[in-house]
Structure 1
Amino acid sequence: MMEIKVPIYNILNFLLTGLVFVGCGLLMYPDYAGNFILSEYYDKITAMSETLLLLCIVAIAYEIGFVLNRAGSVFIEPVFKKLKIIPFNDDYKLYNDMSKEYPIMKVLSREYALSRTSSLLFALLFISSLFSGKKIYMMIFALCTVMFVLSCRKHATKIVTLMEAQKG
């Protein structure tokens, strides 16, 4: 039998990101959850269907996190590079060589990707709260966006600095 392993990185970067997105959405728009709880469907939920509903929510949250991760890579990273928010070195051979010699490179890379994904997550939540006029959430999400952009910059800078030190 084939063993399936989900790396902790995927759980943190995809599932938790998706759960934060869904949870913050429910905090900003509690009427959606309230309407479901008050609906006729809620009374028909059994233990089996409750488990199925929970699995569906987890799967949806994972997919939301996965999409946010990929969107961060495809859309956010190029913008960060172009605006020079982050330093970047495209020498992947050097990066791979450095990763073998310095295991911290993989940790920095994971942290960078997590920060990039979180930057997009909180930017989207900020935009959503902006359109809904939720000022407290706007401030919280704006601060979180800035914090994760700075974190992304910090990790990218460390990676590039290590790579440049190895070149010279």
Structure 2
Amino acid sequence: MIFLNESILRDIGIYKDKLISAFTGSRDVTEILLGENAGETPAEELLFTRIFPYLEMDESKPEEVSYLCLETDIPSVPSRMVKNLRITVWAYCHKNCLNYSRAGYAGTRADQLADAAERALRNLQDLGMGNLRLESASYLSPAGSKYYGRQMTFTVSDLKVKNSP
């Protein structure tokens, strides 16, 4: 039953909140993001400083740091009852801080951050119907940029409209 006050797009914000919680709740994500400063910054202070619910790449900032950004969208509504959600995650770092080592991870800091982000998302419960599927993982290196990273795309199906929580 579809209620008049329900929105198909409501899940975009709900999913962003769940993804951000998964990232800020992951010790690996926060430690790879912050490096030596991991113990000094509370996880909730990462939002809009190092973790963004949209693609943020401000090269005017003087810091040489890492970022984790995400976006959600609905590329298709294949039936009256189901919608597909796409989650895009960008894990990128200033090129001067790509050299990083963490036990259990390999590659550059950007590779490790992308790996930690995927692991955090795999542990999410109550995210759509079925499993979150990694569709692609490509590199991100805008021409002339000081940053390098990974762009990952995930998909998950969910009910088109749900009752309000």
Say which one has the larger Rg: 1
Normalising by the residue count of structure 2, what TM-score does the alignment of the two structures yield? Answer: 0.31
As a proportion of its length, which structure holds more strand? Answer: 2
Q: TM-score, normalised by structure 1?
A: 0.31
